[in-house]
A and B are shown apart, each in its own frame.
Chain A
Amino acid sequence: MAPRRYNQAVQKYSIFSLARNALTGHRNWRAAWRSPEPRPAYDVVIIGGGGHGLATAYYLASVHGVANIAVLEKGWLGGGNTGRNTTIIRSNYLWDESAALYDHALKLWEGLSQELNYNVMFSQRGVLNLAHSESDLRELSRRVNANRLNGVDSEFLDAAQVAEYCPLIDCSPDRRYPVLGASLQRRGGVARHDAVAWGYARAADARGVDIIQNCTVTGILRDGGRVTGVETSRGVIKAKKIAISAAGHSSVIAAMAGIRLPIESHPLQALVSEPVKPVLDTVIMSNAVHAYISQSDKGEMVIGAGIDPYVSYSQRGGYDRIEQAVRAVVELIPSFSRLRMMRHWGGIVDICPDASPIIAKLPLEGLYFNGGWGTGGFKATPGAGHLFAHTIARDQPHWLNAPFTLERFSSGALIDEHGAAAVAH
């Protein structure tokens, strides 16, 4: 095999490179990553060029020294769920396993722009989870206490403190669903989703990872009990290890290896309003009226809805979900009632029965799986990539992802975050 040719020519982004390129009218920026032809064989082939797959490639190369890696993406980088979510990042999950997993990711987010030399616009503007009933309040206090015991920052706010923290929310007691309190995770926030995919792609490419777009995997080659490569729309690619990181299509890819998963794929919709001046400087989530809302740096209100109730791969859903989400937003913030909505889209999310992911080896030698993140995969991107890379390189899980196996569905050791994870799924 030919020696790896590292991309030494990657330019460092800085105020100086910006100034230098400004002098030449920004005509001489180099592409942030190469577009190589696929080679006949790799040590690791990662299926799926979203944030998770690209992060996995980056950590495999940077932490574990794996040199011969390809990321296969059927469309364009970050064109799946990475570019379709509402970019919320938090780690205030109820159960110990989940809190450890998501807080590992949050710690990586905190240094990510510097590590990648790429501005992912991570903004720790706080995430507010509202309570609207007595039972909401009890559940929320329990979660705040569980978070604090796990070392995850979490505060309880009463209604007056919510009104002070975010005056935009209508906290008056005569609302149909009055705000009685909230949990606040100040380290939570949002990031620029496209930049996360691009930043990891550029950093992985600089370490010699081949990123191959427009390359659809159509089959997984097996020899006895182990995998040997993939069939793709651009020919056969041999691989010692194959890592599935294809959220939305997890079951489709696993079926190519004859493996059934406890996953169903549902549409999840989101929408953005016309851009307005800065009015909302935090992230608001409400389980009871079911909406998530934050304001992007462009000024748009980014609004998340609930999943559609049926299995679909169509990347579109029902209008009733949009109506429900917008109704919830207007209930919380009546002044948004005359905002006009600008764009609306859907992604396909993999839902596990316990609303927790699977990051594990599969029962075929050389086959690894990261998926089933449901509606919460974006926030986990750096952590998922970091732990999945560990699992692939060492051929055994990191202690943080050891509970997130496929076998938990027969052993009964579920990590039931349905309704416990601060949002309904």
Chain B
Amino acid sequence: MLCIPCPWCGARDVAEFHCGGEAHIARPADADRIGDEIWAEYLFMRANPKGLHHERWQHRQGCRRWFHVARDTQSDRILAVYRIGDAPPEGDPS
């Protein structure tokens, strides 16, 4: 059971949050010129790593704000929390 430290509200139960999936996926530029493979990569392909994962969460039943979480998907340990627009913490936060 995750206890997620919302950057604005503090540590809360996972049941209050909505998981928005993998973070830092950039929408391709030149949308009218790129091929199907690049769209498939953007829309569907995911890193799905066993280990460090950067993801988006929304505190849906709290402040309703979006933020980033760096989490180890093997241990479920939350390694860092950072705001939307920020780059992931340098290096491996574990």
Q: What residues on A are CB-neighbors of B71 within 8 Å?
A: 310
**Assuming A318-B14, A320-B15, A412-B36, what are 9 further A-B pairs, CB within 8 angstroms?**
A260-B41, A260-B46, A310-B71, A311-B21, A311-B22, A314-B76, A318-B15, A320-B14, A409-B40
Chain B's closest residue to A248 (CB) is B50
Chain B's closest residue to A259 (CB) is B45
Is the CB–CB distance between A309 and B19 below 8 Å?
Answer: yes
Q: Tell which of A65-73, A196-204, A261-269, A379-387 binds the partner.
A: A261-269
Considering the chains assembled together, what is the distance between the CA atoms of A313 and B50 in angstroms? 6
Q: What residues on A are CB-neighbors of B41 within 8 Å?
A: 260
By the criterion of a CB under 8 Å from any partner CB, how many residues of chain B are at the interface?
Answer: 29
Chain A's closest residue to B41 (CB) is A260
Is the CB–CB distance between B37 and A410 below 8 Å?
Answer: yes
In B53-82, the 8 Å CB interface with A consists of: 53, 55, 71, 73-76
**Is B26 engaged at the interface, CB distance under 8 Å to the other chain?**
no
Is the CB–CB distance between B73 and A313 below 8 Å?
Answer: yes
**Is A316 engaged at the interface, CB distance under 8 Å to the other chain?**
yes
Is the CB–CB distance between A312 and B36 below 8 Å?
Answer: no
In A305-345, the 8 Å CB interface with B consists of: 309-314, 316-320
Considering the chains assembled together, what is the distance between the CA atoms of A140 and B13 in angstroms? 35
**Is B39 engaged at the interface, CB distance under 8 Å to the other chain?**
yes
Q: What residues on B are CB-neighbors of A262 within 8 Å?
A: 40, 44-46
**Given A318-B1, A320-B15, A412-B36: A263 touches B55 (CB 8 Å cut-off):** no
Can you list 23 A-B pairs, Cβ within 8 angstroms, ordered by A?
A: A251-B47, A251-B49, A252-B49, A255-B49, A260-B41, A260-B47, A262-B46, A264-B22, A264-B48, A265-B73, A310-B55, A312-B76, A313-B50, A313-B74, A314-B73, A316-B76, A317-B1, A318-B1, A320-B1, A320-B15, A409-B44, A409-B45, A410-B39
In B15-53, the 8 Å CB interface with A consists of: 15, 18-19, 21-22, 36-37, 39-41, 43-50, 53
Is the CB–CB distance between A410 and B40 below 8 Å?
Answer: yes
Considering the chains assembled together, what is the distance between the CA atoms of A275 and B32 in angstroms? 60
Least CB distance from A72 to B in Å reads: 18
Is the CB–CB distance between B39 and A309 below 8 Å?
Answer: no
**Is B11 engaged at the interface, CB distance under 8 Å to the other chain?**
no
Is the CB–CB distance between A310 and B2 below 8 Å?
Answer: yes
7 nearest A-B pairs in the assembled complex, by CB-CB distance: A410-B40, A262-B44, A251-B48, A320-B15, A309-B19, A410-B36, A310-B19
Considering the chains assembled together, what is the distance between the CA atoms of A314 and B73 in angstroms? 7
Q: What residues on A are CB-neighbors of B43 within 8 Å?
A: 353, 409
Considering the chains assembled together, what is the distance between the CA atoms of A225 and B76 in angstroms? 36
**Given A309-B18, A318-B14, A318-B15: A261 touches B76 (CB 8 Å cut-off):** no
**Is A52 engaged at the interface, CB distance under 8 Å to the other chain?**
no
Q: What residues on A are CB-neighbors of B73 within 8 Å?
A: 265, 311-314
Least CB distance from B7 to A in Å reads: 18
Of B15, B36, B55, which is within 8 A of A311 by CB?
A: B55
Chain A's closest residue to B57 (CB) is A310
Is the CB–CB distance between A263 and B40 below 8 Å?
Answer: no
In A246-303, the 8 Å CB interface with B consists of: 249, 251-252, 255, 260-265
